[in-house]
């Protein structure tokens, strides 16, 4: 066993003495030692209940004859970090999480790991660590939040963000905003729409690194605790059979996950995280793969923010396995031979799956859109690519030519949006918010929600070298690469310039003559870093482009 390095033999008597100082018995020390990586804290709604999940996991490990050893990681709540300097640290936390899990698992050679994440950067950070360490590992998330209810209508966190814009434009009053605030988030769990946290938990299941149900069983359901116990038992089986993350996360498995991404209309943040995870797994994966699969995999589920359904509805309708079963009916979309954390090929799980509600999980011939939820655009404004959730774009905005309104920070853009200075036909350009320039590539949920809340979602686009929350809807185009801070074309845009957007054609173009662009480039000056100390500064020096997943050099 790998853990023998720290517990077996005469020379390890001091090590065993330290285990005994914590109350471990000789029998517990002799068993396989399973690291339980728990991201519980009291600042993230999706993590507030993870100690309950951890107890269930540890019960399962003990029932299977091994010894659980729990340790923590950090976690940022993107919603609480939104629209202030804190958001500069959210994406950056992904690398810290991956590194910290690696440090703990290498310093203390566990035989296997159970990862307990739930929210935005924690899931991909732990997946990156799992691929890097490559010992038997299984994931069990804390589960999604239930949707809120107000006046018989389902609401969620995005309802509150958009409510701020609605208040500013006079469409609702403060009493209504307070009702939204009080009812949108009814309890623990990752926010209830197909936002980044739930996107990544669903894709973890589709990738094969978690058991069926991981992405969709609500946090408050007893089935979530039962699944956690099963995960604790299953990791011992994966250890006995020596099934490792890289045996599961193969190129075919990544393509399966991207197909599910397209069918669900997941967060555009998956285009950052999936390549980063593949990078750690040694699997080549560039942005063009997303476009290839998007052309093949139809959009089957219309989930918040683009639609009225929530994760609880997807769970009742058949969950991720139901979606994958439907996708498998189209030849070449789903590779059923892929090994999964169940210890069996995907085909075994799909044989037990079924679609129980065809309104929530549509059939291939009745898909919401013929193409998948995400598209990668290229052109002179983004030669290395940019990303849009095309399933959340109004039809009239799929092809448009807009007037640029340029801002060098999110705060400046929000101020003008809230003041009513943005008009129909404008495209809000927010730059110097990329991985290096931000630093940390802030999410732009506040400006996009304000645009939608003020009734401009079908007439105003937003383009940024930053990124978007999974809760964003509208013609929101992010991850523009190269970013402004690296001398990218987005740094040369001026107020009044025309920008041509063609989402079906996968193109984005700044309609300015080459001679004028050359003159602007000569006068461009590389900006000073916005943060010059601490982790965020070190991050800005090490991080690569969004087009590569914003991994470290």
Q: Where are the beta strands (DSSP E) in 75-194?
A: 112-116, 137-139, 148-150, 153-155
Find out whether 168 and 316 touch, Cβ atoms under 8 Å.
Answer: no
Note the helical H segments in 265-405.
270-281, 287-296, 311-317, 319-327, 346-351
- Displacement of CA 513 from its chain's centroid (Å): 37
**Could you tell me the CA-to-CA distances from 521 to 66, 133, 357, 419 in Å, in that order?**
62, 44, 54, 31
Element (H, E) at 90: helix 90-107
Q: What is the 3-state secondary structure (H, E, C) of 179-217?
A: HHHHHCCCCCCECCCCCHHHHHHHHHHHHCCECCCCCCC
Cα torsion for 159, 164, 168, 170, to the nearest 10°?
Answer: 40
**Could you tell me the CA-to-CA distances from 357 to 52, 178, 346, 362, 489 in Å, in that order?**
30, 34, 22, 8, 46
d(Cα 232, Cα 545) in Å, to the nearest integer? 37
Find out whether 306 and 397 touch, Cβ atoms under 8 Å.
Answer: no
Find out whether 273 and 359 touch, Cβ atoms under 8 Å.
Answer: no
Q: Please indicate whether residue 449 is annotated as part of the active site.
A: no
Q: Residues 192, 294, 459, 469: which is the catalytic one?
A: 469
d(Cα 159, Cα 154) in Å, to the nearest integer? 9
Other Cβ atoms within 10 Å of 104 Cβ, number: 19
Indicate the SS3 state at residue 535: helix
- The string of DSSP codes covering 305-343 is TTSSB-HHHHHHHTHHHHHHHHHTTSTTS--TT-B-TTS
Pairing mode, if any, of strands 399-407 and 426-430? parallel
Find out whether 353 and 321 touch, Cβ atoms under 8 Å.
Answer: yes
Of 143, 147, 103, 106, nearest in space to 123 by CA: 143
Active site residues: 469
């Amino acid at each position: 066993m790998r853990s023998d390095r720290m517990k077996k033999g005469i020379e390890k008597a001091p090590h065993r003495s330290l285990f005994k100082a914590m109350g471990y018995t000789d029998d517990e020390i002799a068993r396989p030692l399973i690291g339980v990586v728990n991201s519980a804290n009291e600042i993230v709604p999706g993590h507030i209940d993870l100690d309950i999940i951890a107890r269930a996991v540890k019960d399962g490990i003990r029932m299977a004859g091994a010894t659980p050893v729990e340790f923590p990681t950090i976690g940022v709540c993107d919603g609480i970090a939104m629209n202030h300097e804190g958001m500069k640290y959210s994406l950056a936390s992904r690398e810290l999480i991956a590194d910290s899990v690696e440090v703990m698992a290498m310093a203390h050679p566990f035989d296997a790991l159970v990862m307990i994440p739930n929210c935005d950067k924690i899931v991909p950070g732990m997946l990156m660590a799992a691929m890097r360490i490559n010992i038997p590992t299984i994931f069990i998330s804390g589960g999604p939040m239930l949707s809120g209810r107000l006046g018989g209508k389902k609401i969620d966190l995005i309802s509150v963000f958009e409510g701020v814009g609605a208040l500013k434009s006079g469409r609702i009053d403060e009493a209504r905003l307070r009702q939204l605030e009080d009812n949108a988030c009814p309890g623990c769990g990752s926010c209830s729409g197909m936002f980044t946290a739930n996107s990544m938990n669903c894709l973890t299941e589709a990738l094969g690194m978690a058991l069926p149900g991981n992405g969709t069983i609500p946090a408050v359901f007893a089935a979530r605790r039962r699944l956690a116990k099963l995960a604790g038992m299953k990791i011992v089986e994966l250890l006995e059979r020596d099934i490792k993350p890289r045996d599961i996360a193969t190129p075919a498995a990544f393509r399966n996950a991207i197909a599910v991404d397209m069918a669900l209309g997941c967060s555009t943040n998956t285009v950052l995280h999936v390549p980063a995870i593949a990078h750690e797994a040694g699997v080549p994966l560039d942005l063009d793969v997303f476009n290839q699969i998007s052309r093949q995999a139809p959009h089957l589920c219309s989930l918040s923010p683009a639609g009225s359904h929530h994760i609880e509805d997807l769970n009742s309708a058949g969950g991720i396995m139901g979606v994958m079963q439907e996708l498998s009916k189209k030849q070449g979309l789903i590779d059923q031979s892929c090994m999964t954390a169940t210890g069996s090929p995907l085909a075994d799980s799909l044989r037990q799956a079924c679609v129980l509600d065809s309104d929530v999980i549509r059939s291939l011939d009745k898909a919401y859109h013929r193409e998948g939820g995400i598209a990668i655009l290229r052109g002179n404004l983004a030669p290395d690519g940019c990303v849009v959730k095309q399933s959340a774009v109004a039809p009239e905005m799929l092809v448009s030519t807009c007037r640029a309104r340029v801002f060098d920070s999110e705060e400046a853009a929000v101020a003008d949006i809230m003041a009513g200075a943005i008009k129909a036909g404008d495209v809000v350009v927010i730059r110097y918010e990329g991985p290096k320039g931000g630093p940390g590539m802030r999410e732009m949920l506040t400006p996009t929600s304000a645009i939608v809340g003020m009734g401009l979602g079908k007439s105003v686009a937003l383009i940024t070298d930053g990124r978007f929350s999974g809760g964003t809807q509208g013609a929101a185009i992010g991850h523009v690469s190269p970013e402004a801070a690296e001398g990218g074309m987005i740094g040369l845009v001026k107020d009044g310039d025309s920008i041509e957007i063609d989402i079906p054609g996968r193109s984005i173009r700044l309609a300015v003559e080459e001679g004028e662009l050359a003159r602007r480039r000569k006068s461009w000056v590389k900006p000073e870093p916005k943060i010059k100390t601490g982790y965020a500064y070190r991050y800005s020096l090490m991080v690569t482009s969004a087009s590569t997943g914003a991994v470290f050099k």
